[in-house]
Amino acid sequence: MNKQSISKERKQYLRKQKSKQYRIILTQIAILVGFLAIWEMLANQKVIDSFITSQPSRIWETFMNLGSNDLMKHIGVTVYETIIGFLLGTVIGIFIAIILWWSDFLSKVAEPYLVVLNSLPKVALRTCYHYLGRCWHTCYHCDGGGNFLNCNNLRKFKWLFENR
């Protein structure tokens, strides 16, 4: 389509649409800036607890210092543990599913237990109450209850042979 073939009304309509789009974007930016400014002000005035909700300036400072203070190392550990946990859960789940599919007897025996496990909140199935994933040597700090797959065990497989 040629520029000369567009009518005056169409050009005016397109200008209005473009103007409307700019106003929408500017309003969205103003709302975001206003929200961040109010959040920062309330955190500085101690109206909200900045320990729980942080504040935009501290978030920005942390973002700018990603290379320092070992944040990237901690992100790497978290991603590693997530991937290992996902893969272990998937492989173990597939293995159990194959066994239950294969054996009608085991399937019938395990059914009520699987129904109960499925209805439990997943937070209740964590491996150890004391550490919650914060420690590299968790098996030394736990009482041993439900401590089969913790982060220490995922990092070093020699735990299989330590207490035999």
Q: What is the mean pLDDT of residues 128-150?
A: 48
CA atoms of 22 and 97, how far apart (whole Å): 55
Whether 142 contacts 130, CB under 8 Å: yes
- Ordered alpha helix ranges (H), 54-147: 56-64, 71-102, 104-119
Confidence of residue 161 (pLDDT cuts 50, 70, 90): low
Checking if the pLDDT of 160 tops 70, the result is no
Question: Tell me, what amino acid is at 21?
Answer: Q
Could you read off the pLDDT of 75-119 as tens digits, one per residue? Answer: 899 999 999 999 999 999 999 999 999 999 999 999 999 998 888
Could you read off the pLDDT of 32-85 as tens digits, one per residue? Answer: 999 999 999 999 999 999 889 899 999 998 888 877 777 778 889 999 999 999
Q: Residue 23: what pLDDT?
A: 96
Checking if the pLDDT of 123 tops 80, the result is no
CA atoms of 40 and 17, how far apart (whole Å): 35
Confidence of residue 17 (pLDDT cuts 50, 70, 90): very high
Q: Residue 63: what pLDDT?
A: 82
